[in-house]
């Protein structure tokens, strides 16, 4: 059964796919001005800061993969900032906390996205910083049509902003009222922030010198100073219902820069797939592919119960390992050699039967048995936390609360440079706006645990294990593909279905994106209050009725979502002959793929 809605976009000049039409248009403008995929991705990202402020912001975080034309493999640029020096378990416990709140100052880490954009432009860009930033400055200063979802988020929090976060009220409630959908909205403070950044950058000569000067202005200059000054005295309401001070300082910010890393990878049916390391959830997708390596996935109906069941049960095992073993590898011993081995994939596949698993099964790692036991103990403690999966970075409108979401960007230029990135955090729901900057800090610190001895325990200088997880793949014919999605804990789930359907079922990018999607809630949420929905399976109602009935018969607790309500995938692909393709989800009628 096929669910084709639109053909994939094709061309030879360049492709940009992002979660907002303005972002995609900005990226294409940059490509046509002679910029590389890196220039286009950064310009798109800065534009998305403006037009999707409920989904990402300049003080947030980011995971990025980039492949240059002279490289056989991509590299990772880590835009995930670290925990502050004073962010200790003892301090947070003394605040009466068992979990880090999903909003508020104690959840803030060092802002990493800006540094990652600068590293990308420095190493892979061609245009000046001004050319990359000017579209975003224009939309912040002159205005942009307010998205309905953003207007709803602001309206829902208007009373809270007025009572608890007055700096946010000043920014998001111009004239005292929430903006209406489609209304022209401006953020002059953000425009001034970026214009000052440009002035300080352009005080020196040379493109790379200006990029470095911009980094100094951000991490050691007026941006860090504004954050430091505000946090010195601010004591604000958080998601746990108390007013608390933060611990992030200007000194924490000054000591951080984005790092370039080697990705992790696996082979699957002639393809090589790359992901960021275990400070993200990226290796989980690779584990799932290893688990499925010996199955004849192509023989399964891509909208049938056997396909959905097998993929769901594979994902459940991957999530168990993610929660037991993943964390910042610079600070913890993460057993990736074991988790990504062929033999381990075979062992995990043997656990999947014909019925839905109702319990959790982290894999056995010699010498680290205590981590699996600690994970199961946490599940018993937190399983009744009461939040929907994805809380803190909600999946889609019908599954969301007020805390925020994410954006995604895929770009391939005419020369074959490829970028896939998932910027997030610093959304308008996360924290109060920093005076003078027009945007808030992020809350990625909520993903740490306040228990000692875990790979993802809170510790100064440690990266939280983020959900942000773009993908890049190289096919056996030499085709390069970039793909990804917003959606918190659902990101790897939707990407796995997309990739399998594209590879095994002959679907083009758009068909694989548009095909009915599903995800499991049988996992520990990455977001406060870290709830679990045992056995839950959310599937779009476009699946055949007999598929949903059979899944229920196999023990899945199936919720039929609205027909076009699950997943926000985008993708771009380059064939060896230079032909380019791209696709973007029709869900929410917001994402676009553009090119020529």
pTM (two decimals): 0.96
pLDDT recorded at residue 3: 54
pLDDT recorded at residue 387: 41
d(CA 227, CA 139): 24
d(CA 348, CA 278): 19
Q: How many CB atoms lie within 10 A of CB 572?
A: 30
Quote the strand ranges of 425-523, DSSP E.
Answer: 471-474, 480-484, 518-520
Residues 6+ apart with CB under 8 A from 159: none
pLDDT recorded at residue 370: 96
- Interval 414-439: pLDDT, tens: 999 999 999 999 999 999 999 999 99
Residues 6+ apart with CB under 8 A from 299: none
pLDDT recorded at residue 381: 80
Task: Give how far Cα 553 sits from Cα of 300, 351, 531, Å.
Answer: 18, 19, 25
d(CA 562, CA 565): 5
Task: Give how far Cα 46 sits from Cα of 15, 41, 248, 276, 572, Å.
Answer: 18, 9, 24, 22, 20
pLDDT recorded at residue 400: 34
Positions in the chain whose pLDDT score sits under 70: 1-5, 382-404
Q: What are phi and psi of 477, to 5 degrees?
A: -90, 5
Pick from 454, 441, 523: nearest CA to 490 = 523
pLDDT recorded at residue 404: 52
Residues 489 and 503 sit within 8 Å (Cβ to Cβ)? no
pLDDT recorded at residue 383: 57
The sheet that has 570-574: what strands, in order across it? 9-11, 580-584, 570-574, 480-484, 471-474, 271-275, 264-268
pLDDT recorded at residue 47: 98
Pick from 470, 516, 465: nearest CA to 495 = 470
Domains and CATH numbers, the chain: 18-26+40-60+82-259+405-410+420-447 (no CATH), 261-403+467-595 (3.60.20.40)
pLDDT recorded at residue 389: 29
């Amino acid at each position: 059964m096929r669910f084709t809605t639109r053909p994939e976009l094709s061309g030879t000049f360049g492709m940009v796919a992002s979660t907002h039409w303005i972002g995609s248009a900005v990226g294409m403008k940059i490509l046509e001005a002679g910029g590389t995929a890196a220039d286009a991705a950064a310009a798109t990202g800065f534009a998305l800061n403006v037009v999707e402020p409920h989904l990402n912001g300049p003080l947030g975080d980011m995971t990025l993969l980039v492949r240059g034309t002279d490289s056989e493999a991509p590299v990772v640029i880590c835009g995930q900032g670290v925990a502050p020096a004073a962010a200790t378990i003892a301090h947070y416990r003394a605040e009466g906390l068992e979990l880090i709140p999903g909003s508020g100052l104690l959840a803030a880490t060092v802002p990493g996205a800006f540094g990652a954009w600068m590293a990308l432009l420095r190493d892979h860009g061609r245009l000046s910083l001004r050319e990359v930033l000017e579209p975003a400055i224009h939309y912040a200063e002159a205005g942009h049509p307010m998205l309905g979802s953003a207007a709803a988020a602001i309206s829902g929090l208007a009373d809270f902003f007025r009572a608890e976060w007055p700096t946010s009220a000043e920014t998001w409630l111009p004239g005292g009222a929430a903006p209406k959908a489609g209304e022209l909205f401006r953020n002059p403070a953000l425009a001034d922030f970026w214009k000052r950044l440009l002035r300080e950058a352009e005080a020196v000569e040379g493109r790379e010198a200006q990029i470095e000067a911009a980094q100094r202005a951000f991490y050691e200059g007026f941006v860090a100073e504004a954050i430091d000054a505000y946090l010195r005295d601010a004591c604000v309401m958080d998601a746990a219902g108390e007013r608390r001070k933060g611990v992030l300082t200007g000194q924490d910010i000054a000591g951080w820069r984005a790092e370039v890393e080697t990705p992790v990878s696996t082979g699957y049916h002639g393809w090589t797939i790359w992901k960021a390391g275990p400070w993200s959830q990226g290796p989980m997708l690779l584990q799932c592919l290893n688990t499925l390596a010996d199955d004849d996935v192509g023989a399964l109906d891509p909208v049938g119960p056997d396909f959905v069941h097998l993929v769901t049960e594979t994902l459940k095992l991957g999530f168990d390992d993610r929660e037991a073993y993943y964390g910042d590898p610079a600070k913890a011993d993460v057993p990736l050699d074991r988790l990504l081995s062929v033999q381990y994939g075979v062992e995990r596949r043997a656990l999947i039967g014909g019925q839905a698993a109702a319990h959790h099964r982290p894999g056995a790692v010699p010498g680290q048995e205590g981590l699996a036991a600690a994970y199961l103990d946490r599940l018993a403690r937190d399983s009744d936390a009461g939040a929907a999966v994805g809380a803190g970075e909600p999946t889609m409108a019908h599954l969301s609360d007020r805390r925020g979401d994410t954006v995604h960007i895929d770009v391939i230029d005419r020369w074959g440079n490829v970028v896939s990135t998932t910027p997030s955090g610093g959304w308008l729901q996360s924290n109060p706006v920093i005076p003078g900057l027009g945007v808030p800090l992020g809350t990625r610190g909520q993903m740490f645990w306040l228990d000692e001895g875990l790979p993802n325990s809170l510790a100064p200088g440690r990266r939280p294990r983020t959900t942000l997880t773009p993908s890049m793949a190289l096919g056996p014919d030499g085709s390069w593909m970039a793909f990804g999605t917003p959606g918190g804990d659902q990101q790897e789930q939707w990407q796995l279905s997309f990739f399998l359907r594209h590879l095994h079922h002959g679907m083009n990018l758009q068909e694989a994106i548009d095909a009915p999607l599903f995800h499991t809630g049988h996992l520990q949420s990455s977001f406060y209050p870290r709830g679990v929905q045992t056995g839950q399976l959310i599937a779009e109602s476009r699946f055949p009725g007999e598929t949903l009935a059979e899944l229920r018969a196999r023990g899945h607790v199936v919720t039929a979502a609205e027909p076009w309500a699950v997943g926000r995938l985008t993708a771009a692909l380059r064939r060896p002959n230079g032909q380019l393709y791209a696709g973007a989800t029709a869900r929410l009628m917001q994402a676009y793929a553009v090119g020529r």
